[in-house]
Amino acid sequence: MTFNHDNKQFNIRRYPKSENRSLRPWSAADEHVLKYLKKLDIEADTLALYNDRFGLLSCVLNKFDPTTVLDYKSQEKACRMNLDTNKLKTSADRMVTSLTPIPHVVQTAVIKIPKSLDLFRLQLHQLHPHIRAKSTVICSFMTRNFSSNMLAIAEEFYADVQQTQAWKKSRLLILKKKTAVKKAPILNSLKWKEDILLQQYFGVFSAENIDYASQFLMDHIKLEDTDKRILDLGSGNGILAVAMRAQKKDCDIHLLDDSFLAVESSRLNLTDKKTHFHFNDSLDEFADNSFDLIVSNPPFHFEYENNIEVALSLFKQAERCLKNGGRLQVVANQHLNYKTHLRKLFKKVIDIAQNEKYVIYECKNL
Ligand SMILES: C[S@@+](CC[C@H](N)C(=O)[O-])C[C@H]1O[C@@H](n2cnc3c(N)ncnc32)[C@H](O)[C@@H]1O
């Protein structure tokens, strides 16, 4: 899609691609930020961008040499794709994650407030040491997504928090005058059964409790002697892998997640040498016919969008990576009706368990 700004045209696309043509690679909240930034005197080398999901702001503001904070592999791929398409360059140190220090002081930061307000808090916390006394942090959101917790979190870090008028159903929070914040925790602890304590960074899926769908799946996972190489697909804090490791010590377990903070969390929860971590949004790095078992509680949200396209793409890739006779076990909300889609990919799809809310499918190609 073409985006016009200051008499320049930018060609911006979504990654991953969506069949839903009403989904755009930017929102009015991004346009609102650009309109507001025109009032500011931005110094080159002092701009930081958070949650720029498809890279619109990284492209339009490229002349200021911004640092883009990338927390998802798919976000990194989208930003690189759109920078390349628009023949724009950025240096490697200008792409960091929320856990990596920003390589310069920050005079202006732009944060598109993520759906996870825990992640918003983590990002403000991590940004804080780089902020100057006179810096401005511009936080954008669509008004329908407003929560008073956004203000409360912003006020933990800034003495002056102002909300703008709505424009095209979006608003900005303007944060100034940073407060003296002590180093605060950025990890939650979660108890599982009597004896397992999991850690996860703020913003990683299911911070309050182990997800109920995952609990249901764990009650039914039974590893077989032939399960030598296993993949936990969309692994989050690694709970499914932890449960599998408790059953079998001598298999190789691979964990893959699109979220950097999820992968870093799972590294804290599994430390043996036969567990391997992959920060990726696709299975491209794995050979065909290479896993005996793939287990997944797949995503069905993309920020505020309900979206099963990512899950369907992961199922297709899982089919390629399973050995002949290998199994894919998926837990899902009944209403998602994945069976219809799985039957197009696998010869055999059975329900191995269900309750009033969830179903576990086992898919095989033999
Ligand atoms: C429903 S959560 C399950 C997390 C974890 N397995 C659990 O049970 O708590 C889905 C996970 O999929 C991840 N995810 C989303 N898109 C992905 C993709 N394209 N590739 C890999 N992981 C993805 C999310 O970051 C999230 O951690």
**Continuous H helices in the chain:** 28-37, 56-60, 73-85, 117-127, 148-157, 212-220, 239-247, 260-269, 309-321, 338-345
Q: Which helix (H) or strand (E) holds 302?
A: strand 301-302
To test the pocket of ligand 1, the residue of 115, 231, 233, 235 to mutate (highest count of ligand atoms within 8 Å of its CB) is 235
Ligand 1: centre distance to CA 132 (Å): 36
pLDDT of amino acid 303: 86
Domain with 17 in it: 2-178
Query: At 71, which CATH number?
Result: 3.40.50.150
110 and 214 fall within a common domain: no
Range from 95-99, 217-221, 303-307 carrying the lowest mean pLDDT? 303-307
171 and 234 fall within a common domain: no
Domains held by the chain: number: 2
Supply the residue whose CA is at minimum distance from atom 12 of ligand 1: 234
Ligand 1: centre distance to CA 216 (Å): 16
Q: How far apart are the first and last CA of the chain?
A: 43
Tell me which residues have their CB closer than 6 angstroms to ligand 1: 74, 205-206, 211, 214, 234-237, 239-240, 256-259, 262, 281, 297, 299, 310, 314
pLDDT of amino acid 151: 98
Residue finishing a domain among 148, 178, 208: 178
283 and 233 fall within a common domain: yes
Binned at pLDDT 50, 70 and 90, residue 216 comes out as very high
359 and 212 fall within a common domain: yes
258 and 301 fall within a common domain: yes
Interatomic CA distance for residues 212 and 294, integer angstroms: 19
Does the N-terminal peptide bond of residue 25 adopt cis geometry, omega within 30 degrees of 0? Answer: no
For CA atoms 151, 153, 155, 161, give the dihedral sign.
negative
Residue finishing a domain among 178, 204, 234: 178
Counting from 1 in the atom list of ligand 1, the atom nearest the Cα of 232 is 6
Give tens-digit pLDDT for 299-315. 988 888 888 999 999 99
Ligand 1: centre distance to CA 298 (Å): 6
Binned at pLDDT 50, 70 and 90, residue 101 comes out as very high
CA 206 to chain centre: 13
Give tens-digit pLDDT for 119-171. 999 999 999 999 999 999 999 999 999 999 999 999 999 999 999 999 999 99
User: What mean pLDDT is predicted for residues 179-206?
Assistant: 92
Residue finishing a domain among 145, 178, 211: 178
202 and 349 fall within a common domain: yes
Q: What is the CA radius of gyration of the chain?
A: 22
To test the pocket of ligand 1, the residue of 242, 259, 305 to mutate (highest count of ligand atoms within 8 Å of its CB) is 259
